[in-house]
Structure 1
């Protein structure tokens, strides 16, 4: 586990499995709505729709104002009163800030970033090189 990243409940699959762990690292200086989008994704996650919301936010990254965000949540069938309550109370901000801090402590400066067995991977993101890096990291 990279320095600074707290573990969250997860399943143990054994050595032949790949486990992808997503962490937030909003770059608000480049993307002004990134922090709010991270909160929206986490509010959707609380209702089991993290990846659907993440895909929606990515597909509509030029339209991330509040009205659009509620529209996306509604389109995904989220409980809108619960969704709005979590956003207004900023329920997920601490979680996102922990991800940011953990990323900084692990040397992350931009997103996306990839760590393999706790080490920052800076090679090419193609199948051959990623597989080689994963095999090397597993030894």
Structure 2
């Protein structure tokens, strides 16, 4: 079984407290992947309904060979994070995944009232690309070969079957 090679750190996007949570759920995801799009509302519901027991961490794993806008979406989400709105952008992209393209990402920036000049500057710096690459490389080192890939308490979770019940089973 694969293990999470890069521990959860302050560099991650985290909902909940990984130090006290019963379940630390790490997702390696791609914003354009239809399977990630299917998992998104399930993960969101699970993390919200069980916020006292679950910490959720999202890491970028853009499959650029298959998904034309995956890297752009990851970059915009990271740029939003620099303005304190990573999760809002994350949710907005997934909620509109069927329309994902550059124009949609620009609309997301406007919808969240982000400073467009700061976003434009941030996406041209190496910092965001380095963050995405670090996420990706950590996934590869941990045995990720597709999306979504989940780790539960540092172990690769092989029992996700695309249903909400598979998340609920983690609590038992």
TM-score range, shorter chain: 0.7 to 0.9
Structure 1 alignment gaps of length 5 or more = none
What is the rounded CA distance, in whole Å, between the counterparts of 1:87 and 1:19 in structure 2? 28
Shift in CA distance, 64/129, structure 1 to aligned 2, threshold 3 Å: closer
What is the rounded CA distance, in whole Å, between the counterparts of 1:127 and 1:57 in structure 2? 21
Structure 2 alignment gaps of length 5 or more = 23-51
> Can you list the C-alpha shifts for 1:69-128, whole angstroms capped at 9, x where unaligned?
333212211011111100122431111111101111111111111111111112124344
Secondary structure at the counterpart of residue 77 of structure 1: coil
What is the rounded CA distance, in whole Å, between the counterparts of 1:74 and 1:91 in structure 2? 22
What is the rounded CA distance, in whole Å, between the counterparts of 2:165 and 2:106 in structure 1? 41
Larger radius of gyration: 1
Corresponding residue of 1:54: 90
Secondary structure at the counterpart of residue 20 of structure 1: strand
* RMSD between aligned residues: 2.3
Greater shift after overlay, 42-51 or 9-18? 9-18
Structure 1 counterpart of 2:134, from 98, 118, 124 = 98
The structural deviation recorded for 1:30 is 1.1
- TM-score with structure 1 setting the length: 0.81
